[in-house]
Amino acid sequence: MPDKRTIVITGVSRGLGRAMALEFAARGHVIAGCGRTAAALVDLRRQVGASGHFNVVDVASDRQVDHWAQKVIDTLGPPDLLLNNAALINRNAPLWQVPAGEFSTLVDVNIKGVANVTTRRLDVLDDAAVEQLVGELPPLSILFNCAGYVHNGTILECAPKDWEFTMNLNVRSMYAVTRAALPRMIAEHQSKGTWSSMTSWRACRSSAPSLP
């Protein structure tokens, strides 16, 4: 990477995360990192200097991650690169000898932890929440409207409330999200921004099964 970038790395208190933080910092990049061991983060900050921003965060905690993500964005802006590195490994043992609690912790950190760091919750049927999230994010380069619902049955089996829900989620939400995001996409990226919306052939097939 030629320019100075902002790089977020989870699990920087030891191992590969720590090594990446030190190397990226030595190459002039700004690093935001987390881990659960405070003393190790203090030590890393001492080595990296002012370009290191390290916080005690458990990535398995959605609440802690939300708080940290907001702090990183407020301080450094949106990151150029996110490395979901934090992970646990259970004791070396056959699966049937791994206690359920230990396995569950593994899933919390290695799977849910990645989702916590990478995603934000949004009910696309809630116009105010859409406006708020789009306002908090930097101008989008790509908007992919994928949320949708396919009623399982023919038109005759589809009650008006199902129809209304389908239209609200599949059509109105795409309008609402695109309408909220588009002005800043155009301003920032001119003609280079992209948005697309998911459509569904399956929906046509289930409501009109005789279609070829």
Ligand X SMILES: NC(=O)c1ccc[n+]([C@@H]2O[C@H](COP(=O)([O-])OP(=O)(O)OC[C@H]3O[C@@H](n4cnc5c(N)ncnc54)[C@H](OP(=O)(O)O)[C@@H]3O)[C@@H](O)[C@H]2O)c1
Angle CA(121)–CA(124)–CA(125) in degrees, nearest 5? 130
Nearest distance, CB of residue 121 and ligand X, angstroms? 19
Nearest alpha-carbon partner for 84 in 28, 34, 139? 34
Residue nearest to ligand X (CB): 15
Order of strands, sheet of 30-35, starting from the edge strand that comes earlier in the sequence: 52-56, 30-35, 6-10, 81-83
Q: Give min distance, CB of 83 to ligand X, in A.
A: 9
Question: Based on CB atoms, which residue is closest to ligand X, 112 or 172?
Answer: 112
Which C-beta is closer to ligand X: that of 10 or that of 206?
A: 10
CB of 37 to ligand X, least distance (A): 3
Select 36 or 151, whichever has its Cβ closest to ligand X.
Answer: 36
Q: Which letter, b or e, does each residue of 75-88 get, where b requires 16 or more Cβ atoms within 10 Å of its Cβ?
A: ebeebeebbbbbbe
Closest C-alpha to 84, from 130, 115, 40, 41:
115
Nearer to ligand X, 17 or 193 (CB): 17
Shortest distance (Å) from residue 51 CB to ligand X: 19
The residue ranges that bind ligand X (CB under 6 A) are 10-17, 34-37, 40, 57-60, 85-88, 109, 113
